[in-house]
Structure 1
Amino acid sequence: MKTVRFALVLVASLLLAACENEQQAETPPPFSLTAEAMGRYCGMNVLEHAGPKGQIILRQIPEAIWFSSARDTVAFTMLPDEPKEIAAIYVSDMGKAASWEKPGAENWIDARKAFFVIGSSLRGGMGAEEAVPFSEEAAARQFVGKNGGEVVKFNDLPENYILGAGGEAADDPAAEGGHDHG
């Protein structure tokens, strides 16, 4: 009887491990940011905007949905009418970015593991408040020391901050980090 029970536990463990490996294998790598990347909500070239970017890859569609800000990327996950079959969420690691104006094309991090700075003085791509992502908490805290704000994890991002009005109007070219599309 002990042998049968041991065999069942062993088989169950192997099946569980196989499922976990299969699930991990399903997470697609991030895409490189190119001039063809158009923002989901603004419909404009993502490279035209300063600050961190984002991309979401759905399970059924093997290409990136691009966002001109990390905040818009997170908003996608909160909005009830957007697809929920998300395979991966990536945001720019601003700790590895050359500058606010050049956040990088390859320095993507899993948004669910990132440290976000909210409430800083810097504005995102469309002149709105930004959720600035970092792979390392120390880099996020250093950013807070220079630009204000607070550090939170993905699951602690306040919905009212992400989905709220976000400060200055998107078409206000005077917004710090904003972009005049006129």
Structure 2
Amino acid sequence: MRYLVLCAMFALVACKEDAAEAPPPPTDLTELALSYFCQMNIAEHGGPKGQIHLAGYAQPIFFAQVRDLVAYLKSPEREAEILAIYVSDMGIAPSWEEPGIDNWVAADVAYYVVGAGVAGGMGAPEIVPFATSAGADNFIHLYGGSIFTLNDIPDSAAIGPVDLENKLETPT
């Protein structure tokens, strides 16, 4: 009997540990969401968005461009431990101007189109995320670029100067 009680206690502790390790779910994008770097209202800008959940923070930090989210990840200075990262799935977004409020995909499983020559919400070249490789392939067929995983996105795609004189396309 003691053996069964001990097994039950260990199972309960293991379940609680698994629940504690589950990442927080994505937060819907609202009119109140401000971009981390510029503190501008995200809803006023088109293109894909991102959110990062940090330990000790009740709400995620949002990014007006996925390019900015990737720059944050590549930065050596961060505010806290990252618990979860989500990006807009542009394969099911209503449009480029309305990227959706709840069509998030975990950033570590998304496919990213880099080098398509499209402008994100803040006018800089954008890194465009998709939940499926087929969605990324369709985008590349229309706008060009190459597919990368989150960890393989080149630093040059997110960090460094941006030539805003070079006219970028806004997808339709």
TM-score range (shorter-chain normalised) is 0.7 to 0.9
Identical amino acids, percent of aligned pairs: 44
Alignment partner of 2:94 out of 75, 94, 98: 98
Alignment partner of 2:109 out of 100, 113, 120: 113
Give yes or no for the alignment of 1:21 onto 2:18.
yes
Give yes or no for the alignment of 1:70 onto 2:66.
yes
Q: What's the C-alpha RMSD, in Å, of the aligned pairs?
A: 2.4
Q: Deviations over 1:108-160 (max 9, x none)?
A: 01111110000002110111111100000011011001000000001101112
Q: Which residue of structure 2 lines up, in the alignment, with residue 50 of structure 1?
A: 46
Contact 2:117 2:126 in 1 (8 A): no
Alignment partner of 2:29 out of 17, 33, 47: 33
Q: Which residue of structure 2 lines up, in the alignment, with residue 137 of structure 1?
A: 133
Q: TM-score, structure 2 length as denominator?
A: 0.85
Give the superposition deviation at 1:20: 6.9
Q: 1:102 to 1:58 in 2, by over 3 A?
A: same
Matches within 5 A, 1:157-168: 157-168=153-164
Give yes or no for the alignment of 1:156 onto 2:148.
no
Contact 2:113 2:136 in 1 (8 A): yes
Contact 1:127 1:176 in 2 (8 A): no
Instruction: Give the gaps of 5 or more residues in structure 2.
Output: 1-6
Q: TM-score, structure 1 length as denominator?
A: 0.80
Contact 2:65 2:126 in 1 (8 A): yes
Return the letter of the residue paired with 1:47. Answer: A
The aligned length equals 163
Return the letter of the residue paired with 2:112. Answer: F
Q: Which residue of structure 2 lines up, in the alignment, with residue 83 of structure 1?
A: 79
